[in-house]
Structure 1
Amino acid sequence: MALAKVDFSLKAISPITDNLGITSQTDLVEINLFLFVKIVRARNLFAHNGHNNLDPYVEVTAGRFLGRTFCLQGNTNPEWDQVFALENDQIEKEGIKTVEIFVKDNVARYDPYLGMISLEIFHIPKRFPTDSALAPKWFVLEDECKRRYRGELMMCCWIGNQADEAFHEASHLQLGHVLISARHTLNTCSRVYIMPRVWCLRLNLLQVEGLILEIDDPSESSDIFITATFGNGTRTLASKSVKSNNGNPIWNEKDILFAVAEPLDEILFLTVEQGTLARCKRLGTCVFPVKKAQTPLQNPDRLVTMDVIQNERFFVGKLSMRVTLDGGYHMFDDDPRYSTDVNPTDNGVWRPNIGVFEMGILNATGLPEMKPQGRTDAYCVAKYGSKWVRSRTVVNSLSPKWNEQYSWKVYDPSTFFIISVFDNSQLHEEYIAAGANDTRIGKVRISLSEMEINTVYNYSYPLVQLQPSGLKKMGEIQLSFKFTSPSKANLYKKYTMPMLFPQHFEDPLSQAQLYGLRQQTIELVRSNMSKAEPPLRNEVVDYMLDSREIVWSMRRCKADFERINVFLNCLVGIYTYFDDVRKWKDLVSPIIAHLLLVVLFFLPQSLLPAIFLALIVHMLQEFQIKPKTLSHADLHLSHVHTASEDELQEEFDPMPSKFEDIILMHRYDRLRVSAGRVVTQMGEFAATMERLQSLLSFQDSTATMLVMISCLIIGIVALAVPFRYLVFVWFLYFLRHPMFRSPFPPFYENWIRRMPSKLDSMI
């Protein structure tokens, strides 16, 4: 009943109309003017009032709003090169007339300031994005008695908008009572992050020659295996065990796969072990720099021989292996069901891009209070492909306005755009000291295949969180976005091509290998994002990439079962209809059926044209009821309304389980993992059925138009060519020899795979 009172629907909002004539970088967002103050450096500062130390910093004040630069210790000619910004709406709302810049000394806290500059906002020039950057100049500082101070400050001040290059670098002035310390203001800035290229490292172990074994009985064989570990020790994989008593064990097993990120400066440690995984003895170690690995195109059969060393000096054998860097696979970081990219690592084999996706992050409303005193410091993180975007943090606001616009190149239309909202907990010392995480508020997925080309969408998406206590609405986020494609021919061609690249079909990886590589790739993304400034924290990356393993969920099981029942009911309905015709339950349908039978008896060649004509008519009927909005979170489809609190707690139960009994815990975990796989297969079957249905329903308008054209062409060919020839050619093609078959899936399979399904609306 609680869900019925909350509006979880997707709402269309008014498009942005007033953009002040600027359409290149901000045509999807509302243009906001900002007061920018750039503090470059100072000179000839001196300490006074009897102390010799000088730790200068600059304070920018506009009404109740305040911002501070870093404090530079013991420097009379400091350089800051920092930009501050204040939204013009706040200036007008507060009636601010002047902006004041104070140079202060952190040592002499009793001094009001060393010098200051006061500027009338009315006289500050306006700068448009097409103009060059405003040149800073020296200003003579004045003391508190309005006398000239001998020190000078280089700065500049202007009024611009979001398209200004200083916008993403600026620290926004905050109210004095919620002021963020200077060293944490960087956590409020917007940033663009680019993921490194992640390669698949193939390790093929062949054998070890001349290995010195420690065995009591020479007639008995020892178990020998090799562990491969990267330098930081976080990723370790073991080979299979082989029996050997002569010191020349042979493996030649299937490749061990690692995910490695550029610049490929990691070290691979290979350790030869004797015994079992639980109890083993180290025989020797060798070290292989990843940079020495070659790609398959360079020398795929190159054999690498390395000395196995014990205690860093004793030679105990030679290890033969092959190590290659394979860039033909797409290394999945996000959930494969909602992939934002399908390109392989090697960008030399990428297909040309088909367009550009542009996103305007407007604002959010109704966000919950995430901190004491009713505070929320919200920011957005958006991802498509290897490009991540972090918006600026709007401090202390339950209705933040971002009005930031970004763009991404699109290489495949059957991909998803992901954007999430978080509460920033890295702004104040007490939260940082307590190890607080950035709290997730909600996530939105947008399917590019459902979008019309060159159409602007303006929507208010509900932000929902499924928690162990139930579903909770966390507010709404308003977005404006569009997908532009200059060549529709290239777009149509994509629907007949495999989503993944040839390597995935010529040398396919198992599900276990794909899962292992994805977990390693996520770990590399975490490590890379944590090194940026400001960093994207691990909890943010995990939420964006859906890193949690899929386990048993009663809610999802019910949802997938109902999705399958929809199509089973359609089959039952068709059988029931024909049974009613056979039993003459009404007069019209049997007469029509007999007329069709007579026509097909005398004109069998019209069978296929009639079928395809019927499909075209059905699709034209579906056009009348085509979806008016893009897909979004469907609560009833996801069975959120029927899930009990106990079922949700089971779904969110961590791995391993939190049950105290050890035996029950292991049995329960095995059951959940197995059931999770069954649920995944049920979902895949349901998604396939829904994709077949979406071919005819204009959910993907481009694909449905192509189906209509294909039906028309096939119908004309079937009308012109005798039916027996069509059947003969089809059977001849169907029974062709395997040597004439391609490892790639046929075009119609690729086509169906690209279709949207209700999986896109699942929570």
Structure 2
Amino acid sequence: MQHNNPQSVQPNQEDFKLKDTSPKLGERWPGGGVRGGGGWMSGDKFTSTYDLVEQMQYLYVRVVKAKELPTNSMTGSCDPYAEVKLGNYKGKTRHFEKKTNPEWNQVFAFSKDKIQSSVLEVFVRDKDMVGRDDYLGKVVFDLNEVPTRVPPDSPLAPQWYRLEDRRGEGKVRGDIMLAVWMGTQADEAFPEAWHSDAASVHGEGVFNIRSKVYVSPKLWYLRVNVIEAQDVHPNDRNRLPEVFVKAQVGSQLLKTKVCPNRTTNPLWNEDLVFVTAEPFEEHLVLTVEDRVHQSKDEVLGKISLPLTLFEKRMDHRPVHSQWFNLEKYGFGVLEGDRRKELQFSSRVHLRVCLEGGYHVLDESTLYISDQRPTARQLWKQSIGILEVGILSAQGLLPMKMKDGRGNTDAYCVAKYGQKWVRTRTIIDSFSPKWNEQYTWEVYDPCTVITLGVFDNCHLGSNEKPGGGSSARDSRIGKVSSKAPTTYGYQTLMGRSCSPR
């Protein structure tokens, strides 16, 4: 048997060291503005300026609506859609049935680096479910005449254009409202736009490749102090019960200890703590059970309480206890009167509150990104703004097979505090360039931002076989960094500026 030399399989340690990068970044103007990146400083808050990423140029086309389109002479109706064509790239709006004045309001973005034509064409067609779609008209733009717009400039106002015939020699019936401009990824239209880089993605896959911002639900501790119960009688009246309480919130299940004394009035005074999230749609379900023998527990009573019933506590003030009547468990539908008769025979004494004075730990303490308590009233003032530019990744490996070859559709996720961001997906690239910039408020410098790179498995026809909508995206790698400092890593390249 041959043995590999351990030194031959060890990874190159240089690959895992921090690497400084020198991308061509925007220039920050005095007072916070950015030349070419857009943005300004207002008081002590920053708007995202896109000065930490490389500027990417795009041709934007906003197709707003059309009016007075002609109807088909055979069907007497019009099912219009618009097609935006730039060289070999084509993007289409959705089509409307039987509508001569459609409103689309869709945006298309074409990467300037891949433009191979000097003209932009916007066609309006009548969709034919059987044959070839009918031509209704077009508008042609010379790219040399397209204006440039960079935030914080006001959005370019759309204009009406009269449709032309196929040869562009005469006008035809119908008008279309368009806005065409050159911009960057700092444009407000960028996140919602159809991108030429992802022209192969269709249907629901289009929504799965766009950049998104998520806010984690606010978590609270639910403290349940199970004090005692009264008049809990077992089915076998010849024995005293060994009683305990089982409490459940969603999928979380906790139990008290069995009362050390066999009695129908057990005492526990035991705390059970759950994690719950706003808007508190779950219930606290309590069952009082009798340990008949080691492998059998018998339910003596049950109650379900909505979480909205309980008070929120922000400090050390005491919480008032309450008695709750238990419903006898196990009666059928036809025995409603008997159930009503017995539901007051047993009761349980509880002290329950939603604790807002603590931070609910939902991540590893080694990589914690937030230490604020749940209650906003207890938050300290922020100490600054963390700006992160997610530039690119290099040397990614194939994560799935497509058309007989390795393929990776990568996006990056960054989490800090309650805010998650997800970049757009770069289709079929082992060296994706995102160049997206995000900001977070910082409340504690001793916190960590975590970034991960994933392969998108929800691109419609590109999904993994058998995966479907329930398939999980594959993790390629991740890095964590203290909030004030990020560098270029083996997994991805990123930059940040220190809190101010």
Counterparts of 1:264-413 in structure 2, within 5 Å, are 264-275=280-291, 278-297=295-314, 300-310=318-328, 311=331, 313-314=339-340, 315=343, 316-372=345-401, 373-413=405-445
State the identity as a percent. Answer: 37
Amino acid at match of 2:120: T
1: CA distance, partners of 2:462 / 2:488 = 34
Alpha-carbon distance in 2 for matches of 1:249, 1:113: 82
The Cα of 1:88 is off from its aligned counterpart by 1.4
Shift of 1:195: 1.2
Residues 281 and 322 (structure 1 numbering): CA distance in 2 closer, same or farther, change over 3 Å? Answer: same
CA distance in 1, matches of 2:88, 2:74: 32
- Partner in structure 1 of residue 88 of structure 2: 64
In structure 2, the CA distance between the partners of 1:266 and 1:5, relative to structure 1 (3 Å rule), is: closer
Aligned to 1:184, the other structure's residue is in SS state helix
The 1:460/1:117 distance shift into structure 2, 3 A limit, reads: same
Q: Answer whether contact 2:226 2:269 (CA < 8 A) is retained.
A: yes
Task: Output one character per residue of 1:368-412: Cα deviation in whole Å (capped at 9) or x when no partner.
Answer: 222323322111100111111111111122221111111111111
Letter of the 1:250 partner, please give it: L
C-alpha distance 151-257 of structure 1, shift in aligned 2 (>3 A)? farther
| Kept after mapping to 2: 8 A contact 1:105/1:113 | no
- Select the structure that is richer in strand: 2
* Structure 2 residue aligned with 1:30: 54
> Is this contact kept in 2: 1:221–1:243, CA < 8 A?
no
Match of 1:694 in 2: none
Going from structure 1 to structure 2, the CA distance change for 1:267 and 1:365 (only over 3 Å counts) comes to same
Instruction: Give how far 1:149 is off.
Output: 5.0
Q: Is the 8 A contact 1:56 1:106 kept in 2?
A: no
3-state DSSP class of the match of 2:280? Answer: coil
Give 1:227's aligned residue: 246
Q: Shift of the alpha carbon at 1:236?
A: 2.2
Deviation at 1:52, TM superposition (A): 6.5
Deviation at 1:96, TM superposition (A): 4.5
Query: Structure 1 residue 363: deviation in Å?
Result: 1.5
CA deviations on 1:31-52 (whole Å, 9 max, x unpaired) are: 1221112223344456526347
SS of the residue aligned with 1:484? coil
Q: Deviations over 1:150-205 (max 9, x none)?
A: 444333221111221112222212465xx111432111111111112101010111
Change in CA separation of 1:297 and 1:400 when aligned onto 2, cut-off 3 Å: closer
Does structure 1 retain, via aligned residues, the 8 Å contact 2:240–2:264? no
Q: Which residue of 2 aligns with 1:252?
A: 269
Contact 1:300/1:324 (CA < 8 Å) preserved in 2?
A: no
How far does the alpha carbon of each residue in 1:696-745 deviate from its partner, in whole angstroms, 9 at most, with x for none? xxxxxxxxxxxxxxxxxxxxxxxxxxxxxxxxxxxxxxxxxxxxxxxxxx
Give me the whole-angstrom Cα distance separating, in 2, the residues matched to 1:44 and 1:107.
22
1:16 aligns with 2:24: yes
SS of the equivalent of 1:348 reads helix
Partners of 1:54 and 1:418 in 2: CA distance? 51
Partner SS for 2:35: coil
The answer on 1:170 being equivalent to 2:229 is no
2:207 partner SS: helix
Q: TM-score, normalised by structure 1?
A: 0.55
1:328-348 CA distance string (max 9 Å, x none): 211122211111111111121
Is this contact kept in 1: 2:287–2:300, CA < 8 A? yes
**One-letter code of the match for 2:496?**
F
Q: C-alpha displacement at 1:249, in angstroms?
A: 2.3
Q: Determine the C-alpha separation between the residues in 2 that align with 1:274 and 1:100.
A: 75
Query: In structure 1, what is the Cα distance between the partners aligned to 2:379 and 2:14?
Result: 43
Residue 428 of structure 1, CA deviation: 2.1
Deviates more, 1:25-34 or 1:298-307: 298-307
Distance 1:39 1:244, change over 3 A: farther
Write the distance in 2 (CA, Å) between the matches of 1:181 and 1:285.
Answer: 51
Residue 2 of structure 1: which of 1, 5, 9 is its match? 9
CA drift at 1:297: 4.6
CA distance 1:286–1:72, change in 2 (3 Å): farther
Instruction: Identify unmatched segments of 5+ residues in structure 2.
Output: 1-7, 28-33, 40-48
Q: Distance in 1 between matches of 2:473 and 2:128?
A: 31
Shift of 1:144: 4.2
Query: How far apart in 2 are the matches of 1:189 and 1:242?
Result: 56
Matches of 2:480 and 2:357, distance apart in 1:
27
CA distance in 1 between counterparts of 2:126 and 2:406 reads: 32
Asked if the contact 2:387/2:440 (under 8 Å) is kept, the reply is yes
What CA distance in whole angstroms lies between the structure 1 residues aligned with 2:194 and 2:216?
25
Report if aligned partners of 1:58, 1:101 keep a CA contact under 8 Å in 2: yes
In the superposition, the TM-score normalised over structure 2's length comes to 0.83
2: CA distance between counterparts of 1:148 and 1:267? 66
Task: Tell me whether 1:135 sits opposite 2:161 in the alignment.
Answer: no
Alignment of 1:78-97 (within 5 A): 78-91=102-115, 94-97=116-119
CA deviation after TM superposition for structure 1 residue 290, in Å: 0.9
Match status 1:238 vs 2:262: no
Q: Cα RMSD between the aligned structures? A: 2.8
Which one has the bigger helix percentage? 1
Structure 1 residues 53 and 249, CA, compared in 2 at 3 Å: closer, same or farther? farther
Give 1:482's aligned amino acid. C
Deviation at 1:259, TM superposition (A): 0.9
Contact 1:357-1:408 at 8 Å conserved across structures:
yes
Match of 2:138 among 109, 116, 130: 116
Displacement of 1:29 in angstroms is 1.1
- Please give the alpha-carbon distance, in whole angstroms, between the structure 2 residues aligned to 1:296 and 1:480: 40
Deviation per CA, 1:91-111: give whole Å up to 9, x if none. Answer: 2xx244324344452635522
- Classify 1:399/1:327 alpha carbon distance in 2 versus 1 (closer, same or farther; 3 Å): same
Determine helix, strand or coil for the equivalent of 2:242.
strand
1:98 to 1:207, Cα distance in 2 relative to 1, 3 A: same
Check conservation: 1:99, 1:120, Cα contact below 8 A.
Answer: no
Specify the code of the residue in structure 1 equivalent to 2:480.
R
Distance 2:228 2:131 in 1: 71
Verify the 8 A CA contact 2:234 2:240 in the aligned structure 1: no
Separation in structure 1 between the aligned mates of residue 263 and residue 385 of structure 2, nearest angstrom: 62
Residue by residue over 1:584-630, the C-alpha shift from the partner in whole angstroms, topping out at 9 and shown as x without a partner, is xxxxxxxxxxxxxxxxxxxxxxxxxxxxxxxxxxxxxxxxxxxxxxx
Confirm or deny: 8 A CA contact 1:368 1:398 kept in the other structure: yes
